[in-house]
């Protein structure tokens, strides 16, 4: 019998997860299909329990449900500490995981970036920043989170004992950091960056988790000044690969998944 997987969010029509996961399922000959479901916040509980009743293998959870969904599952240790779940698996229980953290860490690792002991500036304090700052902190980086709304950066950092700041200190922080990670939505479908290019002259590594466009203004500027750059497609694919492994126990073909996503983004 064909098994079902999916992503629930609102809105979700733009999601690249169906193409990415269906590519892997097809390649591995797994009789399953991955679909996208637009679910309103007030329907979240019904959607999760309904998917379990219908025999789904698991789900990805995206904006705006990553925190709220924790009420409907048993989060593992990492997702509890992050305070957000982006993957659930249906066993006898409904298990919650956060693969954004693993996806971000693997993106840096596979690019040959040493995180332990590095000075990392994370810009943004939304859902993605929670996962990214958590994993870098536990992997031994010195993390500072800078955000437009300082209270949100404070909330993330106080939990883990990290430093935080407003965006007014960006010039000093950009010069201080070995690695800069943009986790804000600035640059998504727009030619904008929060960091003026002239500040990047001594920057070594820039990672932008925004993936549409693949090469954001920040990454273009960083490339032009000779920094190593990592785009958001890498994190998207690696978080997806980790979810896939959680559902199926199989490591999926990340190269094929990445190719499918990049092709879709080109179109
Ligand atoms: P979110 O929870 O809504 O957080 C958005 C963040 O962006 C907040 O820190 C917000 O600051 C900041 N921001 C938005 N507009 C801004 C502006 N004009 N100036 C300064 N800061 C601004 O969103 P999220 O879930 O963290 O996602 C953020 C981005 O990451 C999105 O583009 C998403 O597509 C991408 N993402 C990529 C991956 C991947 O796998 N590559 C995974 C997750 C997310 P305030 O707190 O001040 O509002």
Residue 254 is predicted with a pLDDT of 98
| Whether residue 191 sits in one domain with residue 138 | yes
Positive or negative, the CA dihedral 237, 18, 14, 48 is negative
Number of domains in the chain: 2
Q: Are residues 94 and 123 in the same domain?
A: no
Same domain, 243 and 204: no
d(CA 103, CA 37): 23
Ligand 1: residue of 106, 128, 242 to mutate (most ligand atoms within 8 A of CB) is 128
Alpha-carbon torsion (121, 123, 125, 127), positive or negative = negative
Listed in order, strand segments (DSSP E) in the chain are: 3-9, 32-38, 58-61, 74-75, 87-90, 94-97, 119-123, 142-146, 163-165, 179-182, 205-208, 228-230
Chain mean position to CA 235: 6
Report the atom number in ligand 1 closest to the C-alpha of 192: 18
Q: Are residues 214 and 116 in the same domain?
A: yes
Going by C-beta distance under 8 Å and a sequence separation of 6 or more, which residues neighbour residue 161? none
**Ligand 1 contacts CB of residue 213 (under 6 A):** no
Give the length of the chain: 267
Query: According to the model, what pLDDT value does residue 188 have?
Result: 94
Three-class SS state of 75: strand
* Per-residue confidence band for 184, with pLDDT thresholds at 50, 70 and 90: very high
Residue 209 and residue 113 share a domain: yes
CATH code of the domain in which 88 resides: 3.40.50.10860
* Statement to judge: residues 213 and 252 lie in one domain: no
Q: How confident is the model at residue 138 (pLDDT cuts 50, 70, 90)?
A: very high
Q: Which domain holds residue 190?
A: 102-230
pLDDT at 1: 86
- Give percent above pLDDT 70 in the chain: 100
Assess whether 106 and 217 both reside in one domain. Answer: yes
| Nearest residue by C-alpha to atom 2 in ligand 1 | 126
Rg for the chain, CA atoms, rounded? 18
Q: Enumerate the active-site residues.
A: 66
Each residue of 191-200: pLDDT tens digit? 999 999 999 9
Note whether 179 and 253 are same-domain residues. no
Backbone angles phi, psi at 261, to 5 degrees: -70, -45
Q: Report whether residue 61 contacts ligand 1, using a CB cutoff of 6 Å.
A: no
Q: Is the pTM of this model over 0.75?
A: yes
Residue-wise pLDDT tens digits, 71-98: 999 999 999 999 999 999 999 999 999 9
Q: What is the dihedral of CA 208, 212, 213, 217, to 10 degrees?
A: -40
198-207: per-residue pLDDT in tens?
A: 999 999 999 9
Burial of residue 267 (number of CB atoms within 10 Å: 0-12, 13-18, 19+): exposed
Instruction: Give residue-wise pLDDT tens across range 18-71.
Output: 999 999 999 999 999 999 999 999 999 999 999 999 999 999 999 999 999 999
- The reply to whether 163 and 141 lie within a common domain is yes
Average confidence (pLDDT) over 211-215: 95
């Amino acid at each position: 019998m064909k098994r079902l997987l999916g992503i629930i969010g609102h809105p979700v029509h733009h999601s690249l997860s169906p193409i990415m996961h269906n590519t892997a399922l097809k390649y591995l000959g797994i009789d399953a299909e991955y679909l996208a479901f637009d679910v309103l916040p007030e329907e979240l509980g019904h959607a999760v329990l309904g998917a379990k009743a219908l025999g789904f293998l698991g789900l990805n959870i995206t904006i705006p449900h990553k925190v709220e969904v924790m009420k409907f599952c048993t989060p593992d240790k990492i997702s509890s500490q992050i305070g957000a779940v982006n993957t659930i698996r249906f066993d006898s229980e409904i298990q919650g995981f956060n693969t954004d953290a693993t996806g971000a860490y693997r993106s840096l690792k596979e690019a040959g970036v040493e995180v332990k002991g590095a000075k990392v500036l994370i810009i943004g304090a939304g859902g993605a920043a929670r996962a990214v700052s958590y994993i870098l902190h536990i992997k031994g980086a010195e993390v500072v989170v800078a955000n437009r709304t300082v209270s949100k950066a404070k909330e993330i950092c106080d939990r883990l004992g990290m430093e935080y700041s407003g965006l007014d200190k960006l010039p000093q922080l950009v010069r201080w950091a070995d690695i800069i990670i943009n986790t804000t939505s600035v640059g998504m479908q727009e030619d904008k960056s929060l960091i003026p290019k002239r500040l990047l002259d001594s920057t070594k590594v820039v990672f932008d988790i925004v993936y549409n466009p693949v090469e954001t203004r920040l990454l273009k500027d960083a490339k032009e000044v000779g920094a190593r750059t990592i785009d958001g497609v890498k994190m998207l694919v690696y978080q997806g690969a980790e979810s896939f492994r959680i559902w199926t126990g199989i490591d999926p073909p990340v190269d094929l998944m990445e190719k499918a996503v990049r092709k879709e983004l080109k179109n």
